[in-house]
A = this chain, B = another copy of it.
Amino acid sequence: MPAHDSPQHQPNPALFFDTVQGYQRTFALKAAVDLNLFSVIGGGATAAQAAKRCGASERGVRILCDYLTMVGFLAKADDRYSSTPDTAMFLDSKSRAYMGRALNFMLHPAHLENAQRMAETVRKGGGDGAMLAPDDPIWVDFARGMAPMMFPAAQAIAQHLQPALATKAKSKVLDIAAGHGIFGITIAQQSPGAEIYALDWANVLAVAQQNAAAMGVAGRYHLLTGSAFAVDLGSGYDAVLLTNFLHHFDIATNESLLKKMHAALAPGGQVVILEFVPNDDRISPAPAAMFSITMLCNTPHGDAYTFAELGSMCRNAGFEAAQLVSLAPGPESLVLARKPL
């Protein structure tokens, strides 16, 4: 039997309990979103009041609210619950930054099933990647739910590109795996000369096109249907967006994709990569580094790549030295690289 303990250490199973029960945090949050609980609590409600407003039982709401208070989404004073500032911002369905619809993608049954197969996946080295097949409907859930979560990154990208795009009367931006389309759409809003070319599966582009119309840029929004690896992309782009895309693939695949992007760009054009970028230790910062397990479970070869790895991929594809820009407090970063003039 191994030596278990130093004399100073009092054994504590708290982390074990808490981690085993981690799934309850996920499904309590999901239940609250499904019940619209955060919206009806707002600035304050008792369990009885909240239960009445969302058509649920007082016992159920009381236990769920106490739990969500301990997890950090609510505050409790006497028997009255209220939303924290972040909860009011992200989980009140009346907020523009409402993220509740992201759960249809983030907690898609495929994600939950793949996580439950994790031991088998670790044995064989990767997931089956079924969701990377053409037209997989999970990406429609992605497109419908994930836009609000991407607003801050979309603003950052649009602001970064704005000066370069402003030098030309007409510019062209290619948005690979456009999804909800919010990255290209935000650029189109901020750069009136920009024509956006959005690539994705046809079922997903229907969502992007709706969003482009709703946000007033449909006239400068063009669709490229199919796989980024197979479609003829055209050429002369001023910028190519690779948002949350490279993490699905291995390094060699990413380099071949980046070469294709390089070929599609005009000289001086930029590739804008949005990614979860851990430090070289791969355990910090946790919100970025933890994304690696999602790629282990859901793709055959994907990963959360370090800046050294992403920079090397860009260099090997012909780009100039890449730059890293953190988007904290969000979990992602931008990696920016230019095609030589």
Out of B69, B102, B123, name the residue touching A55 (CB < 8 Å). B123
Q: Is the interface of A mostly helix, strand, loop or mixed?
A: helix
Q: CB within 8 Å of B: which of A44-101?
A: 55-61, 63-64, 66-67, 69-73, 76, 85-86, 88-92, 94-97, 99
A273 interface hit (Cβ, 8 Å):
no
A130 interface hit (Cβ, 8 Å):
no
How many residues in A have their beta carbons less than 8 Å from beta carbons of B?
95
The 0/1 profile, CB within 8 Å of B marked 1, for residues 294-326 of chain A is 111100000100000000000000000000000
**Contact assessment for B20 and A76 in the assembled complex, using a CB-CB cutoff below 8 Å:** no
Out of B26, B97, B296, name the residue touching A4 (CB < 8 Å). B97
**Contact assessment for A149 and B19 in the assembled complex, using a CB-CB cutoff below 8 Å:** no
Q: CB within 8 Å of B: which of A1-29?
A: 1-6, 9-29
Q: How many copies does the complex hold?
A: 2
**Contact assessment for B13 and A99 in the assembled complex, using a CB-CB cutoff below 8 Å:** yes
Complex CA–CA separation, A30 to B122 (angstroms): 12
Chain-B contact segment, one of A165-173, A193-201, A279-287: A279-287
29 CB contacts below 8 A, A to B, read A1-B96, A3-B88, A4-B85, A4-B88, A4-B89, A4-B92, A11-B89, A12-B86, A13-B149, A13-B330, A21-B290, A22-B23, A22-B25, A22-B26, A23-B115, A55-B123, A56-B122, A56-B125, A57-B122, A59-B296, A60-B121, A60-B123, A63-B122, A64-B293, A64-B296, A67-B292, A69-B283, A70-B290, A76-B281
Q: Footprint of B on A, CB under 8 Å?
A: 1-6, 9-31, 34-35, 42-43, 55-61, 63-64, 66-67, 69-73, 76, 85-86, 88-92, 94-97, 99, 102-103, 106-107, 112, 115-116, 118-119, 121-126, 149, 281-283, 286-287, 289-290, 292-297, 303, 329-331
